[in-house]
């Protein structure tokens, strides 16, 4: 029983950082979407949906990080893994973002008709604005994650939240 508890505790510990990061990120995106939609009198996505989305993305990121194909460039400079992981996560977010708009229509109209209606009615400027936000935020996440892997979590926390070291001017 203690082995199961240790595994659950480890999983919770691993999922907290990406959950917090993506929760803040998705709240920023929801606020951005609400500000864009206000101009057109549209209803914005709720913060509850952003919370659920952040939890799902965080768990997917933790699982994806365990796959060997995700850490494809361990012997190269960090930028290789950062760009590679960013591309994977942004591609997945692009698909998820498109499906977020497609699925409600799909249930009512069928796949082909839903796709046609979505392509004609979707405000593409808003869609790509959200994708741009996601790409930048995912890049920041991947950069921080790779740095933490290299320098260690304790050192990272000490550098960012510890006492400032004296710096020469």
pLDDT at 114: 85
pLDDT at 47: 76
CA 83, 146, 28, 92: dihedral to nearest 10 degrees?
A: 50
Instruction: Tell me 68's DSSP state.
Output: T
pLDDT at 167: 62
Q: Where does residue 5 rank: exposed (0-12), middle (13-18), buried (19+ CB within 10 A)?
A: exposed
Question: Is the CA virtual torsion 78, 7, 69, 83 positive or negative?
Answer: negative
pLDDT at 102: 83
Supply φ then ψ for residue 139, to 5 degrees.
Answer: -60, -45
pLDDT at 90: 84
Query: What is the value of pTM for the model shown?
Result: 0.74
Distance (Å, whole) CA 55 – CA 116: 31
Distance (Å, whole) CA 97 – CA 130: 9
Supply φ then ψ for residue 29, to 5 degrees.
Answer: -65, -40
One digit per residue, the tens of pLDDT, for the chain of length 169 reads 678 888 888 888 888 888 888 889 888 888 877 777 766 555 555 777 778 778 877 777 777 777 778 888 888 899 999 999 899 888 887 887 788 778 888 888 888 888 888 888 877 887 788 788 888 988 999 999 889 888 998 898 888 888 776 666 5
Residue 103 half-sphere exposure, CB side, CA atoms within 13 Å?
A: 6
């Amino acid at each position: 029983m203690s082995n199961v508890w240790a595994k659950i505790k480890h999983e919770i510990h691993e999922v907290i950082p990406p959950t917090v990061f993506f929760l803040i990120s998705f709240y920023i995106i929801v606020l951005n979407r609400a500000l864009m939609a206000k101009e057109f009198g549209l209803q914005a996505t709720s913060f509850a949906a952003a919370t659920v989305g952040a939890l799902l993305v965080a768990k997917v990121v933790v699982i994806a990080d365990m796959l060997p194909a995700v850490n494809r460039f361990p012997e190269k400079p960090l930028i290789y893994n950062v760009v590679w992981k960013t591309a994977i996560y942004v591609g997945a977010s692009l698909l998820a973002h498109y499906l977020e708009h497609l699925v409600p229509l799909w249930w009512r109209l069928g796949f082909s008709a839903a796709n046609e209606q979505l392509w004609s009615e979707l405000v593409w400027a808003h869609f790509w604005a959200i994708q741009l936000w996601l790409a930048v935020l995912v890049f920041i996440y991947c950069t921080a994650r790779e740095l933490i892997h290299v320098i260690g979590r304790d050192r990272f926390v000490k550098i960012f939240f510890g006492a400032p070291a004296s710096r020469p001017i």
